[in-house]
Amino acid sequence: MVQILLKNNTYSGKYVAFKNYNDLTVIADGITPSEVYAKALQKGYDEPVITYIPFKNMVQIY
């Protein structure tokens, strides 16, 4: 399991797309995963890594 950490509250409560697992540069953000995926495709990234950035102190159970 890979732990991804963003120290920026700009993306709290949003989905973000990274270039790939090795380069965690944010290339797109949005409210829904499909919106983020579409934005990443428009920018030329065929296989972005999409994840949800929770609000501070938010509990997530998978």
- Residue 40 within any structural domain of the chain: yes
- Residue 22 within any structural domain of the chain: yes
- Residue 2 within any structural domain of the chain: no
pLDDT tens for 44-53 read: 999 999 999 8
| 3-class DSSP assignment, residue 4 | coil
Give residue 42's domain range: 10-53
57 φ/ψ sector (left φ>0, alpha ψ -120 to 50, else beta): left
pLDDT above 90: residue 60 = no
pLDDT above 90: residue 57 = no
Provide Rg for the chain, Cα atoms. Answer: 11
Nearest to 15 by CA among 53, 41, 42: 53
State the amino acid at position 21 in one-letter form. Y
pLDDT tens for 5-56 read: 666 678 888 999 999 988 888 999 999 999 999 999 999 999 999 999 888 7
CB atoms inside a 10 Å sphere around CB 23: 9
- The total number of structural domains in the chain stands at 1
The two structure tokens encoding residue 18: 């990274």
What is the band of 1 on the pLDDT scale with cuts at 50, 70, 90? very low
